[in-house]
């Protein structure tokens, strides 16, 4: 339960970062960054902000390969050294 909450809070913070960059009100797991209006400059900005927010490396090249919001939540979750990360990776 605690782990779910951790992932939810990660998801919420990441959604804020995406929404700000894309100037939209909502993103879902199936939102594709580039289809939703994202450009390469915004991609680097989103990754820089996510890296700062979670203290992990977030590569824009990963976003280029798989641009779904849900995939980025998973990638960041797996990089986190917390219980959230382990729960995700398990």
Partner 1 sequence: MLLDAPPVVPVLGPADCHIWWADPATVTDECVALLDGTERERIPQQRRTEDRRRFIAGRALLRTAAAGYLGLPPRQLEVVARCPDCSRNHGKPELPGTGLQVSVSHSGARVAVAVTRAGAVGIDVEEISTSVSPAELLPHVIGPTEPRAPAHATASGFHRMWTRKEAVLKATGQGLRVPLSDVGVSAPEEAPRVLFLRGPSAGPAEDFVLADLDAGAGCAAAVAVIGGGPLVFTAYSRSRPSAAAFIPGPPRAAETGR
- Contact set with partner 1 (CB under 8 A): 34-37, 39-41, 43-45, 47-49, 51, 59-61, 63-65
Q: Read off the tokens for 27.
A: 């993103």
Our CB check for partner 1 shows the closer of 5 and 41 to be 41
* Distances from the Cα of 81 to the Cα of 6, 10, 24, 52, 76, angstroms: 12, 13, 30, 15, 10
Q: How far is CA 36 from the centre of its chain?
A: 15
Our CB check for partner 1 shows the closer of 12 and 37 to be 37
Minimum separation from the CB atom of position 40 to partner 1 (A): 5
Minimum separation from the CB atom of position 48 to partner 1 (A): 5
């Amino acid at each position: 339960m605690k782990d779910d909450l951790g992932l939810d809070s990660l998801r919420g913070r990441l959604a804020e970062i995406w929404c700000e960059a894309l100037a939209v009100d909502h993103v879902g797991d199936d939102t594709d960054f580039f289809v939703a209006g994202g450009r390469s400059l915004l991609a680097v900005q989103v990754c820089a902000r996510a890296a700062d927010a979670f203290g992990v490396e977030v590569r824009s090249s990963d976003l280029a390969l798989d641009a779904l919001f849900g995939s980025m939540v998973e990638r960041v979750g797996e990089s986190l050294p917390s219980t959230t990360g382990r729960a995700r990776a398990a």
